[in-house]
Amino acid sequence: MANIAIASDHAGFALKSELVAELGKLGHTALDFGPADTASVDYPDFATKVTAAVNDGKATLGVLVCGTGIGMSIAANKVHGIRAALCHTEFEARATRQHNDANVLCLGQRVTGVGVALEILKVFTSTAFEGGRHQNRVAKISAIEAKR
């Protein structure tokens, strides 16, 4: 189906491992950018790897996991062309794909259970952008990015 770039920091490592396995079950290829274990790392380094893969076209979508998902979403959204969304529910995952054309999903291992996270991942990776009235809004986001 699609290449999905994924990474975490040490606080999101266990959930990332579950998500990688789920991506395979869903028919996607997980491009795992690390880390390889729970040794302390800096989350911006891993956000950069995933966002580069999405922007370079090596991955259709990205997934980032840290303790809360907040740090990863802040770091990812600093990158031109990235629309990262921190999601806690399937509804948020569906809405951000349909309305915001989000291309990176952020999750928090310490705040979202594995079962819920797997369902969020399924929805995020299977929902398309609606375009239409939302396209103009996404274009305005891109215009903001260009001014930086």
Active site residue 80: no
Residues in the chain: 148
From the candidates 28, 87, 88, 99, give the one annotated as an active-site residue: 99
The helix (run of H) or strand (run of E) holding residue 101 is none
From the candidates 66, 87, 88, 106, give the one annotated as an active-site residue: 66
Active site residue 66: yes
Contacts of 36 (CB under 8 A, 6+ apart): none
The residues carrying an active-site annotation are 66, 99
